[in-house]
Amino acid sequence: MPHILAFDQGTTSSRAIVFDHAGNVVAIAQREFQQFYPKPGWVEHDAAEIWQSQLDVAVEAVGKAGLAPSDLAGIGITNQRETAIIWDRATGEPIHPAIVWQDRRTADTCDQLRLGGHEARITQRTGLVIDPYFSGTKFAWMLDQVPGARERASRGELAAGTVDSWLVYKLTSGAVHITDVTNAGRTQLMDIHRCEWDDQLLALLGVPRELLPEIRSSSEVYATVASDLPLADVPIAGIAGDQHAALFGQACFQPGMVKNTYGTGCFALMNTGTQVKPSEHKLLSTLAWQIGDTTEYALEGSIFVAGAVVQWLRDGLGIIKSAAEIEALATSVDDTGGVYFVPALAGLGAPHWDAYARGTIVGLTRGTSAAHIARAALEGIGYEVADIIAAMQSDSGLPLAELRVDGGASNNNLLMQMQADLLQAEVVRPAVTETTALGAAYLAGLATGVWSDRSELETQWQVDQRFGPQMSADQAAERRAQWNRAVERSREWALD
């Protein structure tokens, strides 16, 4: 039976997973890469390291599976979104380190756009709020700050893109410069209604059209891997930003279905069907995917720091030696002892959108221990997700039947139980939690005939564990009210 290789290029690591026809993981390889923090609020990656690490794990995973490239029906790519790269078209060399989605350096630019009265127009066309999170202001910053970049761009010497574009460009040895609608829709430069670059937005943000990739659907054969590379001649057949891929991998194909991914950040998406659903609660209206002639949309709530707060407890405070230790430490106490931890280490995303918020721990006493802080950190993730789901329910008018979960932290049973309690709804973890990579594999497999249609994919989705509320609705409401008080104390902290 044919196999599909998924590239899962994340914020802190590059992974490659080989899936079989049943959607099972056959082999996996992963490699972390370096994070750079040149100034407070700035986050960068080495684009060359992203490429090399992704290529290396792809070759490793195929080898572990005991397969040859000819055994692969296709490659699906899913990636950290909004991370911006500009490179030389001729040499393939980046002109600047990649500016990561978490980066806040363009907050002042965003303030000026807001003060200029552009927010309503940008939101109507892109479905997005004005925020440093998105790629457009990052591209403009590099063009303005790298000497000669604007002149080179005007001469057609430079190419810009998100990580998916970068990987396809490298996989095809520079022959193909494309992106898919889900990634293009996160740049703040694409009209999500027409799925085309918008000339007025390009002019407003100062990004030349000549830089940008061609926009394609999420599931089609775009190209094959260059003959001089490992995996030569394998079709590249699916692309979706990581959260869109996870929604697809969770088989959330019907309007009203919701998934949340617990990764470096947290990202909840609700399928809203073929209509763009505007939000009254600062959620994002975004592309879910485009397959053939059909474009589907979603509401999204983005939390910048989720699993990253566990990494900070490990690397910054040193209260755990590995991320896996946090569950045992947090379980060693019955509650947080009145401690609330707002993990706004890179500002607050939805529904607050406060680039100047900062991480805040309140309620500390002499009796507070590392265990209380660890438990409060996990609970803080749960509160943030609950805020987003409540906003989604209000915007859509749809009740939450269940929350499908994935990502590394979804394996933390304590966090999943906290989430069910705070939501007062069932949380469902699937048997295959690698749903981001699985979604990319599914998109590539549909394009190459490995799977016939979505109904075949729905039958493959299986439950690992369900978590129901064990806390009363009154108790959950009381805790969320206290949480809101803590959030207010974190707001606008870094504002001059």
Q: List, for residues 293-314, the tens digit of each pLDDT value.
A: 999 999 999 888 888 899 999 9
Taking 70 as the threshold, does the pLDDT of residue 466 lie above it? yes
Taking 70 as the threshold, does the pLDDT of residue 383 lie above it? yes
More confident residue, 59 or 12: 59
Taking 80 as the threshold, does the pLDDT of residue 365 lie above it? yes
Nearest alpha carbon to residue 42 among 157, 141, 175, 115:
141
Q: Average pLDDT for residues 55-70, to the nearest whole number?
A: 96
Taking 90 as the threshold, does the pLDDT of residue 366 lie above it? yes
Cβ(450)–Cβ(234) below 8 Å = no
Check residue 275 and give its pLDDT: 87
Taking 80 as the threshold, does the pLDDT of residue 496 lie above it? no
Confidence of residue 3 (pLDDT cuts 50, 70, 90): very high
Confidence of residue 102 (pLDDT cuts 50, 70, 90): confident
Task: Identify whether 235 is part of a domain.
Answer: yes
Cβ(329)–Cβ(275) below 8 Å = no
Task: Identify whether 122 is part of a domain.
Answer: yes
Task: Identify whether 120 is part of a domain.
Answer: yes
Check residue 208 and give its pLDDT: 95
Q: How far apart are CA 429 and CA 184, in angstroms?
A: 29
pLDDT in tens, 244-270: 999 999 999 988 899 998 888 888 999
Mean pLDDT of the chain: 94
Q: Average pLDDT for residues 328-347, to the nearest whole number?
A: 94
pLDDT in tens, 149-185: 999 999 999 999 999 999 999 999 999 999 999 999 9
Check residue 342 and give its pLDDT: 95
> How many domains does the chain contain in total?
1
Read off the pTM: 0.87
Taking 90 as the threshold, does the pLDDT of residue 195 lie above it? yes
More confident residue, 116 or 353: 116
Confidence of residue 476 (pLDDT cuts 50, 70, 90): very high
Whether residue 351 has a cis bond before it, omega within 30° of 0: yes
Q: Average pLDDT for residues 341-353, to the nearest whole number?
A: 88
Taking 70 as the threshold, does the pLDDT of residue 451 lie above it? yes
Burial class (CB in 10 A: 0-12, 13-18, 19+), 481: exposed
Confidence of residue 91 (pLDDT cuts 50, 70, 90): very high
Taking 70 as the threshold, does the pLDDT of residue 364 lie above it? yes
Q: How far apart are CA 355 and CA 352, in angstroms?
A: 9
Confidence of residue 484 (pLDDT cuts 50, 70, 90): very high
Q: Average pLDDT for residues 318-326, to the nearest whole number?
A: 90
Check residue 352 and give its pLDDT: 87
Check residue 248 and give its pLDDT: 97
Taking 80 as the threshold, does the pLDDT of residue 400 lie above it? yes
Task: Identify whether 258 is part of a domain.
Answer: no
Highest mean pLDDT among 19-23, 275-279, 407-411: 19-23
Check residue 226 and give its pLDDT: 97
Task: Identify whether 248 is part of a domain.
Answer: no
- Domain holding 177, by residue range, is 3-243
Burial class (CB in 10 A: 0-12, 13-18, 19+), 331: middle
Task: Identify whether 141 is part of a domain.
Answer: yes
Taking 70 as the threshold, does the pLDDT of residue 471 lie above it? yes
How many C-beta neighbours within 10 Å does residue 32 have? 11
Taking 90 as the threshold, does the pLDDT of residue 281 lie above it? no
Check residue 478 and give its pLDDT: 95
CATH, residue 64:
3.30.420.40
Task: Identify whether 172 is part of a domain.
Answer: yes
Q: How far apart are CA 182 and CA 188, in angstroms?
A: 12
Cβ(185)–Cβ(127) below 8 Å = yes
The torsion angles phi and psi of 401, rounded to 5 degrees, stand at: -75, -45
Q: Average pLDDT for residues 49-55, to the nearest whole number?
A: 97
Task: Identify whether 55 is part of a domain.
Answer: yes
Check residue 354 and give its pLDDT: 87
Cβ(240)–Cβ(443) below 8 Å = yes
